[in-house]
Amino acid sequence: AGLPQSERVPIGFFTSATGVTIYRGGAYPEEFRGNAFIGDVGANLIHRKIMTPNGASFVAKRADEMTEFVTSTDNWFRPVNFVNAPDGTLYILDMYRETIEHPASIPEDIKALVDLESGSDRGRIWRMVSPDGQRMKVEPIGKLPPDQLIKQFWSPNSWNRETAQRLFVERRDLSVVPSLRRMAALNRSPLARLHCLYTLAGLDAMKPDVLMVNLKHPEPRLRAHVLRLAEPLFAQDRELAEAAAERATDDSDLVRWQLAFSAGEMPNDLAVATLSRLARDPRNTGDIRTAMMTSLDGKATAFLEALANDAEFAKQPHAAGWYTELARMLGTDANSASGLSALRIAITGTLPSATRATMLAALGDGLRRRGASIAKLLADDRSESDANLKSQVADFFKASVGMVADVKRPTAERMAAVRILSLSNFATAGETLSQLLQPQIDPQLQIAAANSLGQLDGGDVPKLLLAGWRSHSPGLRREIVDALLRSTDRVGSLLDALQAGTMLRGEIERDKKDLLLNHPKSELRDRAKKLLAGDVDANRAKVIADYQSVLEVPGDVAKGKLLFQQKCSNCHQIAGVGHVVGPNLQSVANKSPADLLIAILDPNREAQPNFATYVVETQDGKVLNGLLVGDTATSVTLRRAEAKEDVVLRSNIETIVSNGKSLMPEGFEKDASPAAVADLLAYLKSLGMVEAKP
């Protein structure tokens, strides 16, 4: 007998986490201070985690093994939030509803039987009392005189401290400033000092001297807050800024992390010097490095030059990562001078050749994200100091051509040179790259060459890509079609190949056909529909009806696994096989065979919004599609088959549209017989079965 895996193996802790709150009151034993409390409205419980400092962040660990902090037999109990209360306890906000699930997640037949608004006239507030049953005495503090109100700053209860601070700031009573300054410099409690400092800031009464004192306090959390509070004063007080910069060697990751943010507010020369000191410290990785990147606005060029001129830093193992990331950042800068600076260092600098090559590749990637290129960058360069840069770049690319053509070189070196040539031009690299599209060449080099060739401007790139189509491997064909689809100007060549019979309809994968059939350019879309007519069956219901018989067939698990690897692994991963693009299929074993059949043959019927396909048309004529897996203020990231990703700067987006469809295209039945679908269903259902122990 077997049991569904979900019944035997817990997948995480939460069904629906809500109201994450850190306990900062004074009513509970010390072991609870700083704990995180999280409601799970779906499971009618409250979970508790112990928070342990870990570098600049924390690690959360389950506090209660084999149980939960609060569990309820009342399935209307919905703890949606918590509040640190005046009496030092936590208040629980209980939404109290019969149904908490989103209507979209409830099957229609069940939804018809449920009153989704049941409980909308209810709600409860609970107080979690101390284990010993004792309650803190709550005294009103709103009418306390200033000399008594200030004493609330060393209360163990956060509500008292924060309320006192709020009252001081709201009342704007500047008579308390001397007392606040004295306490901020002399009080033994770091928390009391912290609230005094923030109150002074709220009253616009902050002075550098009190911050200087606290920059050397033994409590690292206080030092980190002092750096943040000092930022507005850096421009007018050089001594304070220099004292803050000295925290670059602080033993605390938290302090150095905050300094990485605060350095951006320092005068440019001091900011670059401070960030350079942080970069040289191998402890500063991860979050600290990310924080440093936020402080580079207007300083990235000087920062890169400082690091590039530091011969000792260049020898450190982590140096190459800095050079690469900075080159990419400067490439995305619309100011051509930034990109030229990175290009000059990569081409003419004294850094190791491997580092300069990766820098150049990263610079090209950054330029590409904003629709530019090294050729365009050089065209913008009219300065006399860079009169030789163009010839030096040309020589560099010619050397890369020689490396690619040298069959005696290691494959890794040739691959690196192939990637570099993607930044060149057709006249320099086109013929050399096309020579690698031969069946005798290492498949890695073939695919890399097709990718680089597809990124070159000018010349007859489509002709070279399609010349040996009949002998190309499936992987190389996929790369070539990708390269042609990326450029609106080259889609016509792909359609020409279809029309001429050079390329057969069945040789284009279904997701690529879907992009052609929904292309933003109407003339290309209409032409594709004519050439691909008959490949898409609009009547999904009929297809599913025709395949109902497979639900009665046992299916062969081994054959189903093989079919998955052949047809599904480009976008799904199971047991380490395949690519992570679409949903995790480990959980679909809980679905009925009928539901799985619908998901396979009609992927758009219940497609989740986060798996909908987006199509981006860039200002330089590229058309990209995929799942929107990154959406920041400056760029979007699309993920497509084989987990390949495209990053596009928002400034380079012409249009971005969701077609409302799953990235998984319709038409699976054209690649699989009913018997094969039965095998696939059997394999998917087997994923959730584990042998039950007697």
Identify any residues that bridge with 79 across adjacent strands, giving them in sequence order. 94
Instruction: Count how many domains the chain has.
Output: 3
- What is the overall mean pLDDT for the chain? 89
Banded model confidence at residue 663, pLDDT cuts 50, 70, 90: confident
Q: What's the confidence (pLDDT) of residue 421?
A: 95
Q: Among 332, 360, 384, where does a domain finish?
A: 332
Return the structure tokens found at 346: 């990569």
Banded model confidence at residue 690, pLDDT cuts 50, 70, 90: very low
Looking up residue 595, the CATH number of its domain turns out to be: 2.30.30.100
- The answer to whether position 505 is within a domain reads no
* Claim to verify: residue 287 and residue 152 sit in the same structural domain: yes
* Claim to verify: residue 202 and residue 301 sit in the same structural domain: yes
- The answer to whether position 382 is within a domain reads no
* Claim to verify: residue 160 and residue 303 sit in the same structural domain: yes
Q: Which of 78-82, 189-193, 495-499, 539-543 has the lowest mean pLDDT?
A: 539-543
Q: What's the confidence (pLDDT) of residue 693?
A: 34
* Claim to verify: residue 157 and residue 290 sit in the same structural domain: yes
Per-residue pLDDT at 534 exceeds 70 = no
pLDDT, tens digit, 9 for 90 and up, residues 328-342: 999 999 888 999 999
Q: For residue 333, what are the contacts with CB-CB under 8 A and spacing of at least 6?
A: 300, 339, 366
Q: Among 94, 128, 162, where does a domain finish?
A: 128
* Claim to verify: residue 178 and residue 269 sit in the same structural domain: yes
* Claim to verify: residue 548 and residue 668 sit in the same structural domain: yes
- The answer to whether position 655 is within a domain reads yes
* Claim to verify: residue 171 and residue 308 sit in the same structural domain: yes
- The answer to whether position 369 is within a domain reads no
Looking up residue 188, the CATH number of its domain turns out to be: 1.25.10.10
3-class DSSP assignment, residue 570: coil
The secondary structure element, H or E, covering residue 545 is: helix 540-546
CA distances from 15 to 59, 528, 617 (A): 21, 44, 38
Q: Is the dihedral of CA 64, 70, 74, 75 positive or negative?
A: negative
Regarding predicted confidence, which is higher, 277 or 503? 277
Banded model confidence at residue 2, pLDDT cuts 50, 70, 90: very low
Return the structure tokens found at 474: 């499936």
CA neighbor of 513 nearest in space, from 654, 655, 663: 663
* Claim to verify: residue 588 and residue 659 sit in the same structural domain: yes
- The answer to whether position 458 is within a domain reads no
* Claim to verify: residue 191 and residue 311 sit in the same structural domain: yes
CA-CA distance, 653 to 635, in Å (whole number)? 9
Banded model confidence at residue 692, pLDDT cuts 50, 70, 90: very low
Per-residue pLDDT at 397 exceeds 80 = yes
Banded model confidence at residue 382, pLDDT cuts 50, 70, 90: low
Return the structure tokens found at 575: 């047991």
Q: What's the confidence (pLDDT) of residue 238?
A: 97
Beta strands in 477-599 (DSSP E): 573-574, 577-578
**pLDDT above 70 as % of the chain:** 94
Q: What's the confidence (pLDDT) of residue 587?
A: 67
* Claim to verify: residue 150 and residue 293 sit in the same structural domain: yes
CA-CA distance, 667 to 671, in Å (whole number)? 8
pLDDT, tens digit, 9 for 90 and up, residues 126-183: 999 988 777 888 888 999 999 999 999 999 999 999 999 999 999 999 999 999 999 9
- In three-state form (DSSP H/G/I as H, E/B as E, the rest C), the secondary structure along 328-390 is HHHHHCCCHHHHHHHHHHHHHCCCCHHHHHHHHHHHHHHHHHCCCCHHHHHHHCCCHHHCCHH
* Claim to verify: residue 560 and residue 634 sit in the same structural domain: yes
Q: Among 313, 332, 351, where does a domain finish?
A: 332
Q: Could you list the residue range(s) of the whole structural domain that residue 179 is in?
A: 146-332
Q: For residue 113, what are the contacts with CB-CB under 8 A and spacing of at least 6?
A: none
- The answer to whether position 414 is within a domain reads no
Torsion angle of the four alpha carbons 100, 84, 145, 171, in this order, in degrees rounded to the nearest 10: -50
- The answer to whether position 380 is within a domain reads no
CA-CA distance, 182 to 197, in Å (whole number)? 10
- The answer to whether position 207 is within a domain reads yes
What mean pLDDT do residues 566-588 have? 84
pLDDT, tens digit, 9 for 90 and up, residues 351-365: 888 898 899 999 999
* Claim to verify: residue 19 and residue 97 sit in the same structural domain: yes
Q: What's the confidence (pLDDT) of residue 7?
A: 40
Contact by Cβ (8 Å): 340, 366: no
